[in-house]
A and B are shown apart, each in its own frame.
Chain A
Amino acid sequence: MTELKDECVKPAKGPILPQAETPSAAGEIPQKEVAMMVKVGHEAIDFEAPAYIEGVGFKNVRLSDYKGKWIVLCFYPGDFTFV
């Protein structure tokens, strides 16, 4: 995991697709190909995202940093919303 300086904009890789790990590709998903790709019983799609972690601060996190553990990945519509 990379330490972030306090910059306003710090891109993370986003989804890291298996075929994008070739030397020529930057590992970022092409803008137009965004069909759902995950399936139960199949490997999760790795990604890198900027994160805030209590007691740690800002950090880029990869899903694969947690490989070997049980993971619950939880999407939600937005901070400060109601439900």
Chain B
Amino acid sequence: MNVEVLAISTDSRFVHKVWQEEELSKMVPGGVPFPMLSDPGGKIGSVYGVYDEAAGVDIRGRFIIDPDFVIRAMEVLTPEVGRNPEELLRQIKAFQHVRATGEVTPSGWQPGQTTLKPGPDLVGKVWTVWKPK
């Protein structure tokens, strides 16, 4: 899929290193391969709308950025619920498909399924080409 992942929290780069060595490398062989960035003070998180001032941390937020540096999607959650990587991957595949083809992807689209070609001919005719279960 050719995607660069950047993880970022308010922890220092030193803590990232020890977390990688002591815990992550025991969950993922070789450790996580992507850069682990440090956002002390939450300045970056503030600009991205994820910094919780009371707690002093960046809450979970993820942003898909395309090769033109445009943000295509964002998801921000309060801390109690973890993320769904499958949905992240689905969105990346959909955005990459759209970028490559100019087609658009309907609700719940998965690679290989029907896409839509917007235009005057499709108005009122979506039902003829897209039949969700």
State whether A72 touches B47 (Cβ < 8 A). no
Complex Cα spacing A51 to B79, Å: 23
18 A-B pairs whose Cβ atoms sit less than 8 Å apart in the complex: A29-B47, A36-B47, A43-B69, A43-B70, A44-B63, A47-B43, A47-B47, A49-B38, A50-B37, A51-B37, A53-B36, A54-B20, A61-B6, A66-B6, A70-B95, A72-B64, A77-B9, A83-B79
Interface residues of A, Cβ cutoff 8 Å to B: 12, 14-15, 17, 28-29, 34-45, 47, 49-54, 58-59, 61, 63-64, 66-80, 83
Inside 8 A of A61's CB, which chain B residues have their CB?
6, 35, 37
State whether B72 touches A40 (Cβ < 8 A). yes
Judged by a CB distance under 8 angstroms, whether B67 is at the interface is yes
State whether B48 touches A36 (Cβ < 8 A). yes
Interface size for B (C-beta < 8 A) is: 68
The binding surface of chain B is classed by DSSP as mixed
Interface residues of B, Cβ cutoff 8 Å to A: 1-20, 23, 30-39, 41, 43-51, 55, 57-74, 79-82, 88, 92, 95-96
Complex Cα spacing A41 to B39, Å: 24
State whether B63 touches A38 (Cβ < 8 A). yes
